[in-house]
Chain A
Amino acid sequence: MKVTREHYRSVKDLPSAEFVAPGSPLCAGCGGLTTLRLFHKVLGGKVVVVNAAGCMTLMATYPFTPLRSSWLYTTMASPSAGAQGLRDALDILIESGRLPADENLEVLVLAGDGSTIDMGLSSTSGAIHRGLNFWYLCYDNEAYGNTGFQASPASPLGSLTATSPLGTPWSKKDIFEIWRSHRPPYVATISPHDAVDLAEKIERARPLCGPKLFVSLATCPPGWGFEPAMGDELAKLAIETGIWPLKEATDGSIRHTFIPEHRRPVEAYLEPQRRYRHLFHPDRRDDVIAAIQAAVDRYWDAAIASERC
């Protein structure tokens, strides 16, 4: 089931402008980069990107940048505070007539899951609490990617990382709910696979003043262990198996923008990835696979029940 679309019917309706030029030191097939490209297209070019340490930091390596917008690299823990300083300063400049209103910029934080969920959570929590008018894009590759794919609290149950060689024993920290509990006007999950859903969400968030947060499943060929060409297929499988729910919360109330009626078994998504290979070879780990499936089923049973009433 898909929700009705108000702004874009198909990818052909997306703006043709590009603000992320081809050519960057990021990996081939990086889902985070695809998300950023799509996000930027729809958001437009009047943007200052505030970046936290992570893979995307290497996008701009002196003297090159693929971005046609502005860029400020802060630290791993404080991109949202950088956004605060920039937003406040831009407002002061506009109020005092030093910057014409049409020179205004959208402030967009760009951070990975590690920064977002661990170190940067304090500064983001503060920014949401203060009602800062900014955009936050978290590309969730489910690990500390840039340092060699170590476990983060976003690493899912059973996944192998450089610091969880036997598989992570925990389930993902629910960053969507952590954000939602702060009551920002808008929170959404997005996927590089569904450009129209992503674009629709940006349009729905655009008129809202305050923190607007987006978390995207960032398919990661080297970290997850798959051929770059398979990235889109995996992102699609994450949606079809129900592992990556597409949803939004406007003023706190949740709605799913896609409900997979006939969810495929999680194995379809797990098996092609090297980080889950130990669940299938040499012996099948039915206990772990069943636990992953059960968590997905529990999630959707609750979601469907609450969305029907």
Chain B
Amino acid sequence: MTRTMLTGNAAAAWGARLAEACYVPAFPITPQTEIIETLAGWFADGSMRGRFVTLDSEHSMMTAAGAAAAAGVRTFAATSSQGLLYAMEVLYTVAGWRVPFVLVNVSRGLSAPITLGPDHNDVLAARDSGFIQLHAETCQEVLDSILMAYRIAEDDRVSVPVLVNLDGFFLSFTREPVELPDPEEVRRFLAAPESRPPGFSASRPAARGVAVLEGPTYSYFRYQLHLAVEQARVVHEEAAEEFERRFGRRHGMIDGYQLDDAETVLIMAGSFATKGRAAVDRWRAEGRRVGLLRLRMIRPWPTAELAAALSGRKAVAVLDQDLAPGLGGILFQEVAAVLARCPVRPSILRSFVGGLGGKEISRAEFDHVLQVTEQAGPNEGPVGPVLLMTAREAEQVGQRLRIAGHVPEEALP
């Protein structure tokens, strides 16, 4: 074990290296490029064995990754944003092939307008593809999640690809101390990469992705995929336990902070949850009983864990870094669906949308979240999401609109 300073991207590359991935099809996109550049260097200098291949698009990259995984080779791929969307057709395809590999997404807001800053609309667009989804908060967790992801993906009970998400810029380019596990220990945690049998060979012909023309058989296979993703709950728990035993860190499906006696729970995902923790610390210092719940696993959706963690609380606020136009926060909807099944349901549930395109979420905005939630009436009807933005930021937007010749009636709430 060594401890070193790594960006989130470098930690992702180390995850692939320690897992001994032997195939990396690549296509560049900011802010993911550092991952594939790092891997390219390692394949070139012999620290990684196998093949690194530059493809012509993410659509091709994802197909090549799935095909190599189908042939029985441990495969790693990484993308972001538009790239993930460009590959979307293939995400569904390779999940349907039931092949295990790991895909890292460095999340970034989607066009248009084009931007580089992160939010979660890209990765959440893939939530129904069949990929399992793990969301990292720290650089260490990026690395750890990739190791756990291979373990889960390659388990015979699962055998579906896993997507590990990290936030662009905030994690991709932030250097943090990261413990690099001992390669021998990783070898014991993961099956040897050569232990999977080849998927295609001359003497054992196989067919994958075969057409299914009747609904019942199609339904069967789709439901099998659902059951396999469901199985990932169990396998994740086993993996988390063994991971903790070997490496001393535990990663759950959800991650609670100051939850024990919390009356109000703030729900977040990804690296901005670190800002949420800081807010909780401040509020706690003021004597307010607030806790944070971070969603680490988004598929399968941690239904039971959420229900258990939220049952009996007074208020729940979901801070989405995504926006489904015409609906609101995506995770809010999914949390609300869980609460409908809670025996002792929190009477206040509020939705916030913030941090879109990498917009900071300031202390004042966190305070606003708490204020709105605490002032909300119990069991009030549906309330739309509150868009988080400071007065200064709103003025800045207004100024840009005016420069562009657009006189806004009402730019922002």
Contacts and interface: CB of A to CB of B under 8 A. Distances in A.
Of A74, A79, A80, A85, most buried by chain B (CB within 10 Å of CB) is A85
A62 B208 CA distance: 10
A58 B201 CA distance: 23
Interface string A82-98: 11111011111100101
B202 A104 contact: yes
Contacts of A68: 205
B64 A84 contact: yes
B57 interface: yes
Of A73, A74, A102, A103, most buried by chain B (CB within 10 Å of CB) is A74
Nearest to A83: B67
A43 interface: no
Contacts of A74: 63, 67, 90, 93, 209
B211 A81 contact: no
Given A67-B207, A103-B203, A126 B67 contact: no
B53 A50 contact: no
Interface string B201-238: 11101111111110001000000000000000000000
A300 B209 CA distance: 43
B63 to A, nearest CB: 4
Chain B interface residue number, banded:
35 or more
Of A58, A68, A89, A103, most buried by chain B (CB within 10 Å of CB) is A89
B112 to A, nearest CB: 22
A86 B200 contact: yes
Given A88-B51, A92-B73, A122-B57, A62 B202 contact: no
Contacts of A82: 63-64, 66-67
Interface residues of A, number: 50
A68 to B, nearest CB: 7
For chain B, what secondary structure do more than half of its interface residues adopt (helix, strand, loop), or is it mixed? mixed
Given A62-B212, A65-B210, A105-B200, A91 B51 contact: yes
B128 interface: no
B23 A92 contact: yes
B217 A62 contact: yes
Interface string B170-202: 000000000000000000000000100010111
A130 B194 contact: no
B119 to A, nearest CB: 28
A182 to B, nearest CB: 12
Interface string B59-80: 1110111111111110100000
B148 to A, nearest CB: 24
Contacts of B200: 48, 70, 72, 86, 90, 105
Contacts of B50: 92
A67 B68 CA distance: 21
B22 interface: yes
B217 to A, nearest CB: 6
Contact of A81 (B22, B61, B71): B61
A84 B217 CA distance: 30
B59 A78 contact: yes
A88 B68 CA distance: 7
B56 interface: yes
Contacts of B210: 60-63, 65, 71, 73
Nearest to B221: A62
B211 to A, nearest CB: 5
Contact of A85 (B66, B208, B209, B213): B66
B206 to A, nearest CB: 5
A140 to B, nearest CB: 22
Nearest to B66: A85
Contacts of B208: 71-73
9 contacts: A50-B67, A51-B209, A61-B212, A65-B207, A81-B55, A81-B63, A84-B53, A89-B72, A91-B51
Interface of A: 45-46, 48, 50-51, 57-58, 60-63, 65, 67-75, 77-86, 88-93, 96, 98-99, 102-105, 122-123, 125-126, 129-130
Interface of B: 22-23, 25, 50-51, 53-57, 59-61, 63-73, 75, 89-90, 93, 194, 198, 200-203, 205-213, 217
Given A71-B208, A85-B65, 18 more contacts: A46-B202, A67-B207, A71-B207, A72-B207, A72-B208, A73-B208, A75-B63, A78-B59, A84-B55, A85-B25, A85-B66, A89-B69, A89-B70, A98-B198, A103-B203, A122-B57, A123-B60, A126-B57
